[in-house]
Structure formats: C-alpha cells, structure tokens
C-alpha cells in the first residue's frame, strides 16, 4: 500500500472513530428542566473536544482553507479555536482570534440591541416605523403605517423574499434601495407573512439611529461588543482588513480555493450582515445568548428575541439534517427557532461570497456551538448537527460525509 493510501486509510479510521464517539455518547436527561439543572447533570466537554478534532480533520480531508469553532456550556468555554490557514497563498495559520465575516449571524445582534432599547423605554417591540421614520412608505400605504419593529426583525414586511438583494450586490447604495421599497411589489399585506429580507431588515438600524441619535454600529459596539469582551468584533470591510488575524474569503478556482477580497455590498446593510468576529468573540456571544450575561442581555430580551414569531415551514426541507431532525420551524427576532427532535434549537446561518457561518443553541442543555469558515464548501455544515445529535444522544448520522469529499478531492 502506498504512503498516500495509508494516510487516507488512517484518516478514514480517525474520522470514523470520532463520529462513533459522538454518536454513542449517552443522552442527558430530556425535558424542560432548565439550563442550570441540565448543566449540572452532564458535562459536554468530551463531545466538544470530539467535534473540534473532527473540524480539524475536515479541514485536511476536504481541503478547506480554515474552520473556526466555539463550543460553550453554561458560562464556560469548552472550545474556541480555528484550524487551517487564513489565506491559501500566505498560509498564515488561523487561530482563536482570527476574525471571520459573520454574514447573517449579524441579525441576532440587531434583535439584541433593539431589545436593550426596549428595556430602557426608548423603543417598544411594537413601535411603528412611521413614528420614528415618517418618510417610510410601501405600496400598501395603510399597511406601511402599521408596520412595527417586531415585523421588521421577524421578516414580516410583506415584500417578496430578498427584495433588492441583487441590486445591493450590484453596488446600489442601501439608502437608494430602502427608498425604492415604497414602489416594490408586495407578496402580502405588511405584517401578515414571512419572507426573508436584508434591505428591509436593515431598517431596524435606521430605527435605532432615530431612537438614540447614534449610528447603529456604534450602539452595538458600545452595548454588546465591549461589555461582552468581544475585542476583535467589528463592523465593515475596512475594520476586518485591519484586524491582525482575519480569514480571507475563498472561491473555487482551477487549483482549488482561491482567496479574493471581501465584497463590500452586504457590509452596506450592517444590521443584516455587517459583523466580523472571531471564535473567541463568538464564544462570549453564545454564553450571553444562553442567559449567563444578564447585565448585558436581560432575560426579557432573550425571551422575546428567541420566541417563535412567525412560521417558516419551508426551512424543514432545505438540507438533510433539517429534513430528518426538524419537526417545526419558526423565525423569532433575528433568530430561527427550530424544534430539533423535540428540543428547542435557537439557530441562524449565514452566507456571503467566500464565507459560511452557523450558530446553534440548545437552551435545555445550556450548550451552544458556532462554526465559521472562509470558503463556500458545504462540508462543515454537518459539524453542527453532528454535535447537537451527540449532546441529545440521538442515533449517529454521518452529516459531514467527509470520506466522500476526500475521495472526490483525490
């Protein structure tokens, strides 16, 4: 047997062992016993270490530039690291402080800062946009008058999915596109149906500015990044490129993954897709979202943002793990809310050119996982359900399928 085949066989064996260990981990007690009780009953350190090792092997086997990962339980960080390189040309190693572009994981920050302002009385979840932004209009003038902050954050504006995203990608300015919403066709009466947005979602930034007199990104930095110790978290392309260690986006080329410059387009809608953050930053964000930083994110804010607001049944069909594990799907306020095999899963994914991201929280286990990677590969997506299955003690499934990818990459 050649050295190459021997290495491949060894890698296959290691991956199989990791998946077996994750699948065979005993289940914690089920039921809505509360996160503190669940944490006391079971320590998920071994599952966290196993999924981190699997992430490292995925980088090697699938030839992915890098994967950043954070796993937390309660107020403890179990894993915060990155594997691979920030750039396939420079080969700079990625690490726990390497910043990745979060894409739509940014939306939860919009819900959180809005919730803080609600707690202070500066806004209400049911504040009408026109009360703060009197020039706001839609084709349905009456419906536009009734549209609220809650509707914006739960994607119930009444517009078709991803209205004007293509124009944003073609470098149309956000304010021009926001003004064009007044003449955009509607899919339903405002407030009555769900359709995912980026332009319309970012109206929440205008609402925050109107309520505070300060730029939306400054409010998030001051209210969330700094208090939580998210020291490498930033907004915008320039800030990302000025970070000491940052993961370059990669697209497919003839020789594999090719680094490119981050596109500016979705940075123009900061509430929807503007945040950059490292695995270390995201560990602190996950801890706060699990309720362990109430001085920053009070329980009332978490309860409302992580509460199902509108049904999204199409989410159940998108990927194999959703199809097999999800029983129900909703959108909250900057979060997706899933029933994952009978357990509430607070989730969001993100994608822009050269980056993919995932975050998932299991409140009844007081556990969270974040996966960030700087390529458009779908392979790392399977890390999240693999870890969630192991925590819940569900029968093991090879959601990663790294062996098939490795064979294709030979």
What six digits make up the tokens of 398?
């090879």
What six digits make up the tokens of 343?
């357990």
| Inside any domain, residue 223 | no
pLDDT at 307 over 80: yes
pLDDT at 35 over 60: no
Considering the entire predicted model, what is its pTM?
0.90
pLDDT at 158 over 50: yes
| Inside any domain, residue 225 | no
Mean pLDDT of 166-175: 97
Q: Rounded to 5 degrees, what are φ and ψ at 234?
A: -145, 175
User: Do 72 and 123 belong together in one domain?
Assistant: no
pLDDT at 167 over 50: yes
Query: Could you give the number of structural domains in the chain?
Result: 2
| Inside any domain, residue 379 | yes
User: Do 250 and 343 belong together in one domain?
Assistant: yes
pLDDT greater at residue 19 or residue 395? 395
Q: Give yes or no for a contact between 71 and 368, defined as CB atoms under 8 angstroms apart.
A: yes
Tell me what the pLDDT averaged over the chain comes to.
Answer: 90
State which of 162, 188, 216 marks the end of a domain. Answer: 216
**In this predicted model, what pLDDT tens digit does every residue of 322-340 receive, in sequence order?**
999 999 999 999 999 999 9
User: Do 264 and 398 belong together in one domain?
Assistant: yes
| Inside any domain, residue 19 | no
Q: Residue 32, Cβ neighbours under 10 Å: how many?
A: 11
Residue 183: partners with Cβ closer than 8 Å, 6 or more residues away? 139
Q: Give yes or no for a contact between 381 and 111, defined as CB atoms under 8 angstroms apart.
A: no
Burial class (CB in 10 A: 0-12, 13-18, 19+), 133: middle
> How would residue 252 be classed by pLDDT, with cut points 50, 70 and 90?
very high
| Inside any domain, residue 18 | no
| Inside any domain, residue 71 | yes
Q: CATH code at 376?
A: 3.40.710.10
pLDDT at 224 over 60: yes
User: Do 290 and 398 belong together in one domain?
Assistant: yes
Phi/psi zone of residue 354: left (φ > 0), alpha (ψ -120 to 50 degrees), beta? left
State which of 186, 216, 246 marks the end of a domain. Answer: 216
User: Do 150 and 62 belong together in one domain?
Assistant: no
The share of the chain scoring above pLDDT 70, in percent, equals 88
pLDDT at 34 over 60: no
> How would residue 254 be classed by pLDDT, with cut points 50, 70 and 90?
confident
User: Do 95 and 63 belong together in one domain?
Assistant: yes
State which of 166, 190, 216 marks the end of a domain. Answer: 216
> How would residue 30 be classed by pLDDT, with cut points 50, 70 and 90?
very low
What six digits make up the tokens of 226?
């700094």
> How would residue 310 be classed by pLDDT, with cut points 50, 70 and 90?
very high
* Residue showing tokens 């996160």: 35
User: Do 96 and 202 belong together in one domain?
Assistant: no
User: Do 201 and 247 belong together in one domain?
Assistant: no
pLDDT at 27 over 60: no
| Inside any domain, residue 313 | yes
Q: Give yes or no for a contact between 356 and 265, defined as CB atoms under 8 angstroms apart.
A: no
Calpha distance 167→172 (Å, rounded) = 6
Mean pLDDT of 293-309: 98
User: Do 99 and 158 belong together in one domain?
Assistant: no
Question: Which CA distances in Å does 395 have to 23, 51, 54, 322, 386?
Answer: 6, 16, 18, 15, 10
pLDDT at 405: 63
Calpha distance 370→351 (Å, rounded) = 14
User: Do 358 and 262 belong together in one domain?
Assistant: yes
Q: Rounded to 5 degrees, what are φ and ψ at 316?
A: -70, -20
Q: Rounded to 5 degrees, what are φ and ψ at 227?
A: -60, -30
Range of the domain at 53: 28-105+230-408
Q: ∠130-152-284 over CA atoms, to 5°?
A: 125
Q: Give yes or no for a contact between 71 and 51, defined as CB atoms under 8 angstroms apart.
A: yes
Mean pLDDT of 335-346: 98
| Inside any domain, residue 23 | no
Calpha distance 95→378 (Å, rounded) = 21
pLDDT at 359 over 80: yes
Q: ∠98-114-168 over CA atoms, to 5°?
A: 65
User: Do 179 and 204 belong together in one domain?
Assistant: yes
User: Do 298 and 197 belong together in one domain?
Assistant: no
């Amino acid at each position: 047997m050649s050295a190459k085949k021997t290495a491949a066989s060894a890698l296959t064996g290691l991956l199989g062992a990791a998946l077996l260990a994750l699948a065979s981990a005993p289940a914690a007690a089920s039921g809505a016993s509360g996160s503190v009780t669940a944490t006391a009953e079971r320590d998920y350190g071994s599952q966290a270490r196993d999924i981190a090792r699997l992430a490292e092997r995925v980088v090697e086997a699938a030839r992915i530039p890098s994967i950043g990962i954070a796993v937390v339980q309660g107020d403890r960080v179990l894993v915060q690291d990155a594997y691979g390189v920030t750039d396939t040309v420079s080969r700079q190693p990625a690490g726990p402080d390497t910043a990745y572009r979060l894409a739509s994981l940014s939306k939860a920050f919009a819900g959180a800062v809005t919730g803080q302002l609600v707690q202070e009385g500066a806004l209400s979840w049911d504040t009408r946009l026109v009360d703060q932004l009197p020039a706001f209009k839609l084709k349905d003038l009456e419906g536009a008058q009734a549209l609220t902050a809650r509707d914006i954050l739960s994607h119930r504006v009444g517009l078709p999915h991803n209205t004007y995203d293509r124009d944003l990608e073609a470098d149309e300015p956000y304010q021009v596109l926001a003004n064009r919403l007044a003449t955009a066709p509607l899919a339903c009466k405002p407030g009555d149906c769900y359709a995912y947005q980026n332009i319309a979602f970012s109206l929440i930034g205008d609402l925050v500015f109107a309520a505070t007199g300060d730029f939306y990104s400054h409010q998030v930095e001051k209210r969330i990044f700094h208090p939580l110790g998210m020291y490498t978290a930033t907004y915008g392309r320039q800030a990302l490129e000025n970070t000491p260690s940052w993961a370059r986006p990669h697209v497919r080329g003839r020789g594999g993954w090719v680094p490119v410059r981050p596109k500016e387009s979705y940075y123009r809608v900061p509430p929807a897709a503007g945040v950059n953050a490292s695995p270390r930053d995201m560990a602190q964000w996950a801890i706060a979202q699990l309720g362990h930083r109430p001085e920053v994110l009070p329980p009332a804010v978490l309860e409302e943002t992580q509460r199902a607001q509108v049904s999204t049944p199409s989410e159940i069909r998108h990927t194999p793990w959703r199809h097999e594990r999800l029983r129900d799907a909703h959108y909250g306020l900057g979060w997706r809310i899933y029933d994952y095999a009978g357990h509430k899963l607070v989730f969001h994914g993100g994608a822009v050119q050269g980056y993919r991201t995932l975050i998932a929280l299991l409140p009844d286990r007081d556990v969270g996982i974040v996966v960030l990677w700087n390529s458009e590969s779908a392979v790392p997506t399977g890390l999240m359900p693999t870890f969630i299955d192991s925590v819940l003690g569900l029968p093991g499934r090879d959601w990663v399928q790294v062996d098939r990818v490795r064979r294709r990459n030979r």
